Amino acid sequence: MSEIKIGDTFLRRIIYTLGVMLTLALGFHVFSLLKDFFVFLLNVLSPFLASLLIAYIMSPIVIQLQKHLKLGRIMGTLLLYLIIFLVIFVMLAFLIPTLLIEFGRLFATIKQGIPNILDWLSRHTHLKIDAELIENIKNQVEQYEIDISNISESILMAAKKIASGGLSAIGGATRGIFSGVSSMIGFFSFLVFVAIIGFYFIVDWEKILPLIKKMVPPKHRERTFDVLDKIDISMGGFLRGQITVCFIVGVMFAVGLFGMGFIGFPALRNYSILIGTLAGVAGFIPYLGAVIGVLPAILIILLTGDVEWSTKLLTFGGVILLFSLIQAVEGFILQPKVVGKNAGLHPLLVMLALIVGAQFGIGGMIIAVPLASVIRVLIREFYWLPIEQRETAMASFPTQHD
């Protein structure tokens, strides 16, 4: 009799597994059929999604401005917008031109340094690299040129692509207005549109929660808002906290490398803002910012000519020490204290979310990480916690039985 039960259980598991696989296959097939529709929908909604995300991140800041400065909701929002516009002005007037100049310097350093490295490799007796191959690589490197103006045009084209998806939401008449203007004007028009929507979202943000509460049946409100609070802790903590971490990591790299330029390796000072910015942007994926920051610094040390190897080794040790310090600060202070233990997303999960979101355009990338935070909380609440409770109950059962 027991053998029949084992066989029945095994058969049920097979049927269950096949059913799950069939459901997943059917779901992926339907999803692939509707992908174009989802891409179109997300592109249309991209300004609203961006505005909603901005309002979600900035609303607590407005609340703090209201409390400390005794301002109304509208004045607090206007003050926050003024601060944001000042930051954008500084970026356009100082940061972006500096980044382009430092990028051009970095390219020149790499172009000058690679032939020296190749000459050293060709002279190395143990490597036995073909001299003709080395010469061909050197010729290719010397012929390669980079034009900062072309980079600027590429940035404008990317801005036009982003704006074209968002502007489709404004309507046919408005699209006609923007169709004849330059990509930069179109992009800034998109930003203005997002700012206007975001303003109304922030002003009315505190009215959204009571509205949701009315929509949820009374018997489900406690559980629903308990889950929503956990989603808010996870998603809000990660977004606001990780943005703060990005800024701190970027500043630490920029200041640290700038200081090393005065100690004995001036070349690092010339690229401190570029490397700090790269580290800050990459820092949105946890712990990646420090890695992205240290790699170009090491590359600059190795490729910079007319510098003694003793100085290079000393500077290399300083860069590794700076990298270790930033990693320690991020891992032991920033991530647990600023982001929060319950809000952190695994770096691989963030990368996967961004890669998947990129398949659906700018709208997909906007909602990718917030959606990953929501899914993480839902899986934990409705799948993983019940499993943990069941295992805890099973483990304590023999003790209670005795």
Which tens digit of pLDDT belongs to each residue from 145-201?
Answer: 655 555 555 555 555 555 555 444 444 434 443 444 445 566 677 778 888 888 888
DSSP-based three-state secondary structure for 270: coil
Report yes or no on 30 lying in a domain: no
Out of 210, 243, 269, pick the residue that ends a domain.
210
**Res. 313: pLDDT tops 80:** yes
Mean of the pLDDT values across residues 30-37? 80
Q: In which domain, by residue range, is 231 found?
A: 216-390
Tally the residues of the chain. Answer: 402
| Residue 297 structure tokens | 């610094």
pLDDT of residue 325: 92
pLDDT band at 125 (very low <50, low <70, confident <90, very high): low
Q: Is residue 14 part of a domain?
A: no
383 belongs to a structural domain: yes
Rg (Cα) of the chain, in Å, rounded?
27
Indicate if 83 and 225 belong to the same structural domain. Answer: no
Tally of domains in the chain: 2
Whether 151 and 83 map to the same domain: the answer is yes
Question: DSSP 3-state assignment of 72?
Answer: coil
Residues in contact with 92: Cβ distance below 8 Å, sequence separation at least 6, in sequence order? none
pLDDT attached to residue 344 = 63
Which of 210, 226, 259 terminates a domain? The answer is 210
Give how far Cα 125 sits from Cα of 128, 135, 142, 309, Å.
Answer: 6, 17, 25, 20
Distance from chain centroid for Cα 20: 33
- The predicted-structure confidence for 216-271, as pLDDT tens digits, reads as follows 888 888 888 888 888 888 888 888 888 888 899 999 999 988 888 777 677 788 88
> According to the model, what pLDDT value does residue 242 have?
86
- Phi-psi domain of 306 (left: phi exceeds 0; alpha: psi -120 through 50; beta: other): left
One domain for residues 195 and 326: no
* Buried b or exposed e, range 101-118, using 16+ CB within 10 angstroms: ebbeebeebbeebbbeeb
Q: How far apart are the C-alpha atoms of 151 and 275, rounded to whole Å?
A: 18
Sign of the torsion angle spanned by Cα atoms 215, 217, 222, 226: negative
300 falls within a domain: yes
Q: What is the pLDDT of residue 175?
A: 41
Q: Which amino acid is located at 147 in the chain?
A: D
**Average pLDDT for residues 304-318, to the nearest whole number?**
80
Domain boundary among 169, 193, 210: 210
Alpha-carbon dihedral angle through residues 357, 363, 368, 373, given to the nearest 10 degrees: -160
pLDDT reading at 307 higher than 80: no
- The answer to the question of residue 380 being in a domain is yes
Q: Which of the listed ranges 276-280, 300-304, 312-316 does the model predict with the highest average pLDDT?
A: 276-280
> Stretch 3-17: mean pLDDT, rounded?
66
Asked if 190 and 234 sit in the same domain, the reply is no
For the chain, percent of residues with pLDDT exceeding 90: 1
The verdict on residue 1 lying in a domain is no
275 to each of 221, 316, 351, 381, how far by Cα in Å? 48, 15, 21, 40
The answer, yes or no, to whether residue 204 has pLDDT greater than 50, is yes
Return the closest-CA partner of residue 234 out of 341, 356, 388.
341
Let me know whether 287 and 167 are in one domain.
no
How high is the mean pLDDT of the chain? Answer: 77
- pLDDT tens digits along 281-295: 888 887 788 888 888
Inter-residue contact 42 to 364 (CB < 8 Å) = yes
Whether 2 has a pLDDT exceeding 60, the answer reads: no
Assess whether 184 and 58 both reside in one domain: yes
Closest CA to 283 of 316, 230, 238, 234: 238
User: Within a domain: residue 147?
Assistant: yes
**What pLDDT digit, counting tens, does each position of 61-114 carry?**
888 888 888 888 889 889 988 988 888 888 777 877 777 777 777 777 777 777
Q: Do 262 and 206 share a structural domain? A: no
Band (pLDDT 50/70/90 cuts) for residue 123 is low
Predicted confidence (pLDDT) at residue 386 exceeds the cutoff of 80:
yes
Question: What is the pLDDT at residue 29?
Answer: 81
Q: Do both 105 and 232 map to the same domain?
A: no
Clarify whether residues 223 and 368 are in a common domain: yes
CA distance 303 to 261: 16
Higher-confidence residue: 58 or 392? Answer: 58
Q: Are residues 200 and 237 in the same domain?
A: no
End-to-end CA distance of the chain: 29
Together in a domain, 311 and 247: yes
Is residue 401 domain-resident? no
Q: How far apart are CA 308 and CA 170, in angstroms?
A: 60
Determine the average pLDDT of the residues in 318-345: 82
Give the pLDDT of residue 177. Answer: 39
257 vs 326: CA distance, rounded Å: 12
Half-sphere exposure of 328 (CA within 13 A, CB side): 6
What percent of the chain clears pLDDT 70, i.e. is strictly above it?
Answer: 76
Same domain, 91 and 187: yes
